[in-house]
Each structure stands twice: as structure tokens, then as C-alpha cells.
């Protein structure tokens, strides 16, 4: 679960359980890895420690 506030001020609680499968996002079932998720300003998306990312539009939906 991630609580996010977007640049327009809206807030969402995002539940990742349904997408935590496969080699890219499945590793986030490990709490130590999921705690390494970042939101770097240069990327504009949520960056996973695996190198993958989620665009803000995807997270909002």
C-alpha cells in the first residue's frame, strides 16, 4: 500500500497487491525491497528498485 499526493493536490491510497506478480514487480512482495521505492524528480514516476516504474496516470487510476 502506498499513500500518494499528486501535484494537483488529490490524494490516493494505492494497493499494489493485484500487480505484484512476475519478475519486475513481484519482488516488491519483499518488504525490504518495497521500502526502497523512490519518486525521483527527474523521472516523474514511481521508481521500483528493479528499475521499472509506474507513471502517475497509472497510479491515479
**What is the 8-class DSSP label of residue 57?**
H
Per the structure, how many domains does the chain have?
A: 1
Q: Is the pLDDT of residue 60 over 80?
A: no
Domain range enclosing 53 = 2-60
Residue 3 confidence (pLDDT): 85
**Cα–Cα distance, 12 to 23 (Å, whole number):** 26
DSSP notation for 4-51: EE-TTS-EEEE--GGG--HHHHGGGGSHHHHTT-B--TTT-SEEPTTS
Q: Which three cell numbers stand for residue 27?
A: 519482488
Q: Is the pLDDT of residue 32 over 80?
A: yes
Least confident of 3-7, 17-21, 23-27, 30-34: 23-27
Amino acid at each position: 500500500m502506498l499513500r500518494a499526493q499528486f501535484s494537483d493536490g488529490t490524494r490516493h491510497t494505492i494497493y499494489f497487491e493485484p500487480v505484484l506478480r512476475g519478475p519486475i514487480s513481484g519482488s516488491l512482495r519483499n518488504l525490504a525491497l518495497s521500502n526502497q521505492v523512490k519518486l525521483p524528480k527527474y523521472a516523474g514516476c514511481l521508481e521500483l528498485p528493479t528499475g521499472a516504474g509506474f507513471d502517475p496516470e497509472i497510479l491515479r487510476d
